[in-house]
Structure 1
Amino acid sequence: MATGVLRKKNIAEALEMAETGKFKLRRELRAIDLFFLVIGITVGGGIFVLPGVMAAQHAGPAVTISFLIGAVVAIFTGLCYVEFASMVPVAGSAYTYSYLALGEIFAWVIGWNVLLEFTMVCSAVAVSWSGYVVELLKNIGLQIPAAFTADIGHGGIVNVPAVLILLVVAFIVYGGISQTGKVNDIISVIKLLTVLFFIIIAIPFVKPINWHPFLPFGWKGVMTAASLGFFAYGGFDAVTTASEETKNPNRDIPIGLICGLVFVALLYTIVSLVLTGMVHYSQLDTPAPVAFALSYVGKRWGGGLVAAGAICGLFTVMMGTMLGSSRILFALSRDGLLPPVFSHVHVTRRTPYFSTLIVLAVAVLMAGFLPLGVLVELVNIGMLTAYFLTSISILVMRVKQPDVKRPFKVPAVWFVAPVATIGVVALICSLPKATLIRFAIWSIIGLIVYFGYGVKHSRLAQETQSPADVAM
C-alpha cells in the first residue's frame, strides 16, 4: 500500500495522455492571453483597498517595499511553476507537478485543496461582486430586496446577483478556451485603464511630505505588510492549469506568467506610492482608501471609479478561478482519482464541460446560500501548500531526473527555490491556528475519498495490475 500511494507519473506518459483523442483539449492561448490571465486573476478589487489598509495598519509609505518583497517570493515561486509548465505542459498545475516528483498521495492532497481554493475564491468573489453591483444600483435609485442580495446566514434567501454572475462566467468558460481568453483580455484592459486613470489623475496631488516618516512602523511592520502583500499575487498558478490549452507552452508560459507577475508588482507598487503621496498614511484606514483619497483632493467621483474597477476586476478573477478549478477536476478524473465523468471533453468546444458544470453548481450553492466566513480562510493555506510543494518538487526533479528536457530552467534554482520555500513556510506559520486545523480536517476528508475511491481506480494502479489481479 505504501508503495502504491507513492507511485509517480511518467513525463512521457503524461504528455501522451494529453494528446489522446478523447482527452485532448484545444490549444488556443497565446503569451498575451496568459499575460492578461495573470492580471485578470491577481488584480481584483483589492488593488483599491489593500495598499491603503496595509499602509495605515502596518508599513506606512514603506508599503511600496512590502509589495516588492511579496513580489520577489511570488516571482521566485512562479519561476518554479514555469519550469514545470514548459517541461510538462498539461492540465493540473501543482497537482501534476507533485504527481511527477513526490507521488500520488501528495498530488491528491494538493489537487483536493487547490480544487477547494479555486472554487472558494470564485464563490467569495461572486459575493463581493454582488455587493458592488447592489451598491451601484442603489446609487442610481434601484433597490433589490435584501432577501435576494444576502445568504441565509445573513437574513436573506439567496444572493441572486452572485448566482447570476456565476452563470454568466460559466457560460463563457463552457464556450471554449478561445472565447474565455478573448473576454478576459478585453475586461482586463478595461480594468487596467481604470487603474491607470486613477494614477494619472492622482499624480498632480502627490505631496512628498506625506512620505515622511517613510518607516513609521519599522522593518517589522514592512515584513508584516509583505506577508499580506504576497497574497495580492495569489492565484497566478491558475494560469498553469491552462498549459494544455496554450499554443506554444514552451515559449508562451514563461513570457506570459513572469511578465504578468512583474507588471502586477509594478502596478501595486505605483498605486501604493501615489496613494500614500496623496494622503498621509494615517488617514487611509478606511474600507475604500482610493475613493477616500480622491474625495480628499476634491474628486467626488472616486467611489464610482472604484466600483467600476472592482466590478471589472472581480469578473476576471471569477473567470480565472472557474477555469482553474474545472481543469484541476478534469486532471484528477483523467488520472482515475475521481470518476471518469469529470474528464469528459465536449466534442466541438474541446473543454471539460461536465467539470465546468459541477464547479458552477458548487460555487452557486456556496455563493448563493451559504455564509462563506471561516471557509474563505482555507483559501490561503491551500494556495500556500501548493506553492510549497511545487518549490520542493522542482528540486526533487533536478536531482532525480536531471536529463529531462527543460525548455525553461529556473536560473540559480538552488537559491531561488529554497528562498521561495522559506518564504511560503513563513507565511504558513503566520496563519491562525484555527485555519491550520480546518485545513487538516479538509485534507482528512480528502484522504477518505482517496482511499475509498482514488487509490483503487488510479490509472497508474490499473496499469500496474497483473493479469491475475484484473481477472479477480
Structure 2
Amino acid sequence: MSSLRGRLFRKESRDRYIERDNRFEKTISGGDLIALGIGAVIGTGIFILPGTVAATKAGPSIILSFIVAAIVCSVAAMCYAEFSSALPVAGSAYSYGNVIFGELIGWILGWALILEYVLAVAAVSTGWSAYFSSFISGFGLHVPKALSGPFDPTHGTYINIIAILIVCLIAFFLSKGLKSSIRINNIMVIVKIAIIVLFLLVGAFYVKPTNWHPFLPFGVKGMFQGASTVFFAYLGFDAVSSSAAEVKNPDRNMPFGIIGTLIIATVLYIGVSVVLTGMVPFTKLNVADPVAFALQSVNQNWMAGLLSLGALAGMTTMMVTMIYSSSRLVYSTGRDGLLPKTLGEVSANHSPLHAMTVVTIVIAILGGLVPLDQLTNLVNIGTLIAFTVVSFGVIPLRKRKDIPNHGFKVPFYPVLPIISGLLCIFLMTTLSAETWIASLIWFAFGLLIYFTYGIHHSQLARSSDGSK
C-alpha cells in the first residue's frame, strides 16, 4: 500500500522539465503574452454579460460587480504568476501539480484543464459559426441547413461545417509555427480592442447619468450575485501559463503577461459596463445583444454592425489561445508518459504536432456534431479546481529550497493564497448539481485512464531518481 502511495505522489523535478522543454523555441515576449491572455479573456461576453447581468441581477452596480470579480480573480492570478515565474515549463497547473503535489494530483489537474480548454473552444466555435453565418447572410449567402448545426436529424441539421473549418484553420496556422500565429493573434486583439474603445467613445456621448439611478436596485446582494456571475468572464488568463516554456525571460514576462491581462480586461469590462448602463435604462438590457441594442436605440446602427466584426475577432483570438494552450497541455502529458509518448514529441518547427492534431480532432467533433448547451458549465468547474490547487500550492512551493524564484512572489503570504483557495471553493459550491454529476463522471473516466495506462507508462515511475 505504501509503495502504491509512493508511486501516486512521486514528484517531478523542475530541472528535468526545463531540460525536456528545451525543444521549444523561446519566441514569446511580454506583449505577446498579454495579447494571448486578452485573446482568451475578452470574447463575445464583453458585448453581452454587462447588459444581461445588469438587467437581471445587479442594475448599474454591475460596475462594482466586475471590480469585485476582478479582485477575486487577481488573487488567483498572482498565485499563477508566482508558479509560472518559479516553474517556467509547459503544461500550466498540470506541471505545477506534478512538481509540488505529485503525479496523481498533477494528472487530475491536467484532466480538469483538458476539459476546460476543449469544451470552451468547441462551444465558441459554434458561436463563431452562428456569427459568421449571420455576417455572410448580409451578402445573400447561406450555409445549407443540414451543415449549419450539431447532429440533430429531427431539426434537419447533421454537422456544423463552419465550426469544424474554423477550428481546423486555426490549428493549421498554429502547427506551422508560433511566430506567424502570434502575429495574427496580436493583430486581431488590436482590432477587437479598437472596436471596444470605439464603442466607449461613441457611447459616452449618449450617457445619461439618470440611468444610473437607482445604482443598487437589487441591493448589495444583487451586486454580489452579479460578481459571482461575471467572475467567469475573466477566466482564460490561466491559459497564458501554458506558454512558459516558449517565453523569453519568463521570470519577468510571465507575471507581466498574467497580471497585465487581468488589469486590461478589468478596465475594458468596467468601461463597457459604465457606458452601457448610462446609455440605456438597465431594465431594457435583458436582450441577446445588449450593446448592439443600446447603439441602435441612439441611432448608431453603423457601430452596431462593427460589433459583429469585433465579436468574430474576439472568438477567433479566444480559440487561438485555447487551442494553443490545450496542445501544450496534451504535449506535457505525453512528455511524462501519462498519455502515449508520441503526443510529447516536438516537430522540426518547434510545435507539438501530434498533440495539436489530437486536440483539433476532438474539438472539431464536439463543435461540429455535439450540442454543447449543457456541457459548457463544466468549463467553470475544471477552471476552479485548478485555481484552488494552484492557490494552496503556493505554500508548499515557497518551502521548496530546490526551486529558486527570483521573479514575482504573491504579497501577504500565506494569507492571500489561502483566501484565494477558499474563494474558489466557495464559487464551486454555487455550481449546479448537474455540473457536479457530469464532472464526477469526467474525473472517473480520467482516473480509469490513469490507473489502466498512465501509471504503467509514467516516465517518472521509470526513472531511477523519480522520487525526488
TM-score by length of 1: 0.95
Q: CA deviation at 1:179?
A: 1.6
Gaps of 5+ in 2: none
Give the structure 1 partner of residue 47 of structure 2. Answer: 48
Give the structure 2 partner of residue 73 of structure 1. Answer: 72
Q: Relative to 1, partners in 2 of residues 1:17 and 1:143: Cα closer, same or farther, differing over 3 Å?
A: closer
Q: CA deviation at 1:437?
A: 1.0
Give the structure 2 partner of residue 59 of structure 1. Answer: 58
Residue 223 (1) aligns with residue 259 (2): no
Give the structure 2 partner of residue 469 of structure 1. Answer: none
CA distance in 2: counterparts of 1:306 and 1:420, whole angstroms: 35
Equivalent AA in structure 2 for residue 414 of structure 1? P
CA distance in 1: counterparts of 2:402 and 2:329, whole angstroms: 27
Give the structure 1 partner of residue 35 of structure 2. Answer: 36
Q: Deviations over 1:176-225 (max 9, x none)?
A: 12122111110000000010110010001001000000001111111111
Residue 236 (1) aligns with residue 229 (2): no
Residue 9 (1) aligns with residue 12 (2): yes
Please give the residue correspondences for 1:318-467 in structure 2 after superposition, counting only pairs within 5 Å: 318-347=319-348, 349-401=349-401, 404-464=404-464
Q: Relative to 1, partners in 2 of residues 1:360 and 1:227: Cα closer, same or farther, differing over 3 Å?
A: same
CA distance in 2: counterparts of 1:209 and 1:158, whole angstroms: 48
- Please say which of residues 420-429 and 327-336 is displaced more in the overlay: 420-429
Please give the residue correspondences for 1:170-319 in structure 2 after superposition, counting only pairs within 5 Å: 170-319=171-320
Q: CA deviation at 1:374?
A: 2.1
Q: Deviations over 1:335-356 (max 9, x none)?
A: 1111111011111x11101111
CA distance in 1: counterparts of 2:451 and 2:397, whole angstroms: 26
Q: Secondary structure at the match of 2:376?
A: helix
Equivalent AA in structure 2 for residue 422 of structure 1? L
CA distance in 2: counterparts of 1:39 and 1:465, whole angstroms: 40
Give the structure 1 partner of residue 94 of structure 2. Answer: 95
CA distance in 2: counterparts of 1:189 and 1:413, whole angstroms: 36
Q: CA deviation at 1:136?
A: 1.3
CA distance in 2: counterparts of 1:2 and 1:245, whole angstroms: 34
Give the structure 2 partner of residue 129 of structure 1. Answer: 128
The answer on whether the counterparts of 2:84 and 2:254 sit within 8 Å (CA) in structure 1 is: yes
Q: CA deviation at 1:403?
A: 6.9
The answer on whether the counterparts of 2:18 and 2:245 sit within 8 Å (CA) in structure 1 is: no
Q: Deviations over 1:31-73 (max 9, x none)?
A: 0000111111000011000000110011100101110111111
Q: Relative to 1, partners in 2 of residues 1:87 and 1:400: Cα closer, same or farther, differing over 3 Å?
A: closer
Q: Deviations over 1:231-281 (max 9, x none)?
A: 111011111100001011111111121111101101000100000000011
Q: Secondary structure at the match of 1:247?
A: coil
Total equivalences in the alignment? 461
The answer on whether the counterparts of 2:336 and 2:344 sit within 8 Å (CA) in structure 1 is: no
Q: Secondary structure at the match of 2:214?
A: coil
Equivalent AA in structure 2 for residue 264 of structure 1? A
- Please say which of residues 248-257 and 188-197 is displaced more in the overlay: 248-257
**C-alpha RMSD over aligned residues:** 1.4
Give the structure 2 partner of residue 155 of structure 1. Answer: 156
Q: CA deviation at 1:168?
A: 1.1
CA distance in 1: counterparts of 2:135 and 2:18, whole angstroms: 48
Equivalent AA in structure 2 for residue 127 of structure 1? T
Q: Secondary structure at the match of 2:275?
A: helix
The answer on whether the counterparts of 2:381 and 2:428 sit within 8 Å (CA) in structure 1 is: yes
The answer on whether the counterparts of 1:83 and 1:406 sit within 8 Å (CA) in structure 2 is: no
CA distance in 1: counterparts of 2:180 and 2:81, whole angstroms: 24
The answer on whether the counterparts of 2:14 and 2:403 sit within 8 Å (CA) in structure 1 is: no
Q: CA deviation at 1:373?
A: 2.5
The answer on whether the counterparts of 1:80 and 1:391 sit within 8 Å (CA) in structure 2 is: yes
The answer on whether the counterparts of 1:290 and 1:302 sit within 8 Å (CA) in structure 2 is: no
CA distance in 1: counterparts of 2:176 and 2:402, whole angstroms: 40
The answer on whether the counterparts of 1:177 and 1:245 sit within 8 Å (CA) in structure 2 is: no
CA distance in 2: counterparts of 1:416 and 1:66, whole angstroms: 20
CA distance in 1: counterparts of 2:450 and 2:92, whole angstroms: 19
Give the structure 2 partner of residue 470 of structure 1. Answer: none
CA distance in 2: counterparts of 1:321 and 1:192, whole angstroms: 19
Q: CA deviation at 1:2?
A: 1.3
Q: Secondary structure at the match of 1:253?
A: helix
CA distance in 1: counterparts of 2:174 and 2:359, whole angstroms: 11
Q: Secondary structure at the match of 2:375?
A: helix
CA distance in 1: counterparts of 2:380 and 2:401, whole angstroms: 31
Q: Secondary structure at the match of 2:414?
A: helix
CA distance in 2: counterparts of 1:50 and 1:114, whole angstroms: 24
Q: Relative to 1, partners in 2 of residues 1:166 and 1:407: Cα closer, same or farther, differing over 3 Å?
A: same
- Please say which of residues 61-70 and 391-400 is displaced more in the overlay: 391-400
CA distance in 1: counterparts of 2:193 and 2:370, whole angstroms: 32
CA distance in 2: counterparts of 1:144 and 1:454, whole angstroms: 43
Q: CA deviation at 1:301?
A: 3.0
Residue 25 (1) aligns with residue 24 (2): yes
Q: Secondary structure at the match of 1:464?
A: coil
Q: Relative to 1, partners in 2 of residues 1:403 and 1:239: Cα closer, same or farther, differing over 3 Å?
A: closer
Residue 108 (1) aligns with residue 107 (2): yes
CA distance in 1: counterparts of 2:405 and 2:212, whole angstroms: 49
The answer on whether the counterparts of 2:86 and 2:403 sit within 8 Å (CA) in structure 1 is: no
Q: Secondary structure at the match of 2:24?
A: coil
CA distance in 1: counterparts of 2:371 and 2:340, whole angstroms: 29
CA distance in 1: counterparts of 2:422 and 2:219, whole angstroms: 22
Q: CA deviation at 1:88?
A: 1.1
Gaps of 5+ in 1: 467-472
Q: CA deviation at 1:462?
A: 0.1
Q: Secondary structure at the match of 1:115?
A: helix
